[in-house]
Amino acid sequence: MKKEIKILAIETSCDETAAAVICGANENSNIEIRNSKQIQNSKLKYPKVLSNVVSSQIDLHAKTGGVVPEVASRAHMEAIIPVVEEALSVAKNKIDDITHVAVTAGPGLIGSLLVGFNTAKALAYSLDLPLIPINHIEGHIYSAMPARVESQKSVKSKVQGIKFPILALTVSGGHTSLTLVEEHLKYKTLGQTIDDAAGEAFDKVAKLLGLGYPGGPEVSKFASKYRNKVESRKSIKSKVQGIEFPRPLINHPNFDFSFSGLKTAVLTHVLKLKAKSSGLTASQKEEICFAFEEAAIDVLATKTMRAAREFRPKGIILAGGVAANGRLREELKARIEKYNSEVEEKFKMNFYLPGPGMSGDNAAMIGLAAYYHIIEGEKGDWRKSEISANLQITDL
């Protein structure tokens, strides 16, 4: 495969309409790309993100405090063509320059998935191009893989080559999972949420406290206000005034997650406070957000590090919308550094994070994952491609 790979990627799994263009190799390169191992072990450039356009539906769903599937799918239908056109324009490419079409095939809201999938399928059919279906979780994992970003803001970032195996913690509004990436495109699911995802719990707590939508950033903002009032974590813990929420499954030997009980514990605490007064003070909300965030992050970090000690990965990836949470990044980084100080050199781990604009749902991550499928020889027949709201990462 000597010609340049150019992928038009589409993502509509929930409430973000996104499209991106990914370039697979240097325009002047005459090197034949055979497979992902060749890229991993050579000086070939990593795929480039030429554009990454996202149309948000936050304003629509803020009215109801959460995503309404019917509203989301209708909004996707209105935005999908303009977003694709903008992605091509930003990348300074025409549709005829595209060699492959990639699209999220699941998991996600079925109505939302159908809009992106049918658009991608129509493009692949009309242009006689391969259609590469991608798992949404796989896309999040690849959001932290090596790539060069060349966006409309001329942001450029290079990531050092990744060595396998890698442990990926994916945390978002709809998903919480631990995945062992044994090598490119080879995955083993170690654990996942058995009820609410972490991001969903953040949103529900925010709604319970009347903090607005999306809830994750609001909860973190209130938690930070409380955290900033004291000088150290030790003094913080002494001033929580008895608020200590449960850490569901934290001591269980498996790697599954559960956040429903934590959310219920917050609800119970809020109802007790409201029974004593007409409403919650700003200070009480800050304490509740702090205690909730600490509990959720403790579970996420503890489970991840337990898996790291068992499987000895070369690195840990934190991906998904909640990967933007500063407190989670800080805690996981601290635990990895502590782990590295205690083990032999050969067992030390790197810590990988998504680049700017890559934490939340976006199409660039779908295109990056598709790139590795393509160079591994996937043909991408649109006639055989299907979507699934509950697609597992090992299904494609």
Q: Is residue 153's pLDDT more than 70?
A: no
Average pLDDT over residues 292-314: 97
Instruction: For CA atoms 108, 112, 114, 119, give the dihedral sign.
Output: negative
Average pLDDT over residues 43-59: 85
Average pLDDT over residues 149-156: 37
Position 2 scores a pLDDT of 42
For the segment 269-278, what is each residue's pLDDT rounded down to a tens digit? 999 999 998 8
For 18, the 3-state DSSP assignment is: strand
Average pLDDT over residues 56-83: 94
Q: Is residue 149's pLDDT more than 80?
A: no
Strand 176-183 and strand 186-192: the pairing is antiparallel
Q: Determine the Cα–Cα distance for residues 223 and 211; give it in Å rounded to an integer.
A: 12
Q: Which CATH class is domain 6-157+358-375?
A: alpha beta
Phi, psi (rounded to 5 degrees) for 391 = -60, 135
Q: Determine the Cα–Cα distance for residues 51 and 112; give it in Å rounded to an integer.
A: 22
Question: H-helix or E-strand containing 209?
Answer: helix 198-209
Residue 9: strand pairing partners = 20, 102
Of 8, 309, 265, 296, nearest to 131 (Cα)? 8
Strand 6-11 and strand 48-56: the pairing is unpaired
For the segment 239-251, what is each residue's pLDDT rounded down to a tens digit? 555 689 999 999 9
Tokens representing 75?
Answer: 């909004």
For 373, the 3-state DSSP assignment is: helix
For 142, the 3-state DSSP assignment is: helix
Position 65 scores a pLDDT of 84
Residue 136: strand pairing partners = none
Burial 22-49 (b: 16+ CB within 10 A, else e): bbbbeeeeeeebeebeebbeeebbbbbb
CB 25 within 8 A of CB 89: no
Position 330 scores a pLDDT of 97
Average pLDDT over residues 48-66: 92
Q: Determine the Cα–Cα distance for residues 15 and 78; give it in Å rounded to an integer.
A: 12
Position 393 scores a pLDDT of 93
Average pLDDT over residues 191-220: 94
For 69, the 3-state DSSP assignment is: helix
Q: Determine the Cα–Cα distance for residues 168 and 365; give it in Å rounded to an integer.
A: 14
CB 139 within 8 A of CB 104: yes
SS (H, E, C) 288-356: HHHHHHHHHHHHHHHHHHHHHHHHCCCEEEEECHHHHCHHHHHHHHHHHHHHHHHCCHHHCCEEECCCC
Q: Determine the Cα–Cα distance for residues 385 and 222; give it in Å rounded to an integer.
A: 44
For the segment 198-207, what is each residue's pLDDT rounded down to a tens digit? 999 999 999 9
Going through 164-218 in order, the beta strands assigned E by DSSP cover 166-171, 176-183, 186-192
Average of per-residue pLDDT values in the chain: 89
Question: H-helix or E-strand containing 217?
Answer: helix 215-228
Higher-confidence position of 329 and 65: 329
Domain ranges of the chain: 6-157+358-375, 166-352
Position 162 scores a pLDDT of 79
Confidence of residue 235 (pLDDT cuts 50, 70, 90): low
Position 233 scores a pLDDT of 53
CATH number, domain 166-352: 3.30.420.40
Q: Distance between alpha carbon 282 and the CA centroid of its chain, in Å?
A: 31
Position 308 scores a pLDDT of 98
Position 234 scores a pLDDT of 56
Do 6-157+358-375 and 166-352 fold alike per CATH?
yes
Strand 148-149 and strand 131-135: the pairing is unpaired
Average pLDDT over residues 286-315: 97
Question: How many Cβ atoms from other residues are within 10 Å of residue 187's Cβ?
Answer: 20
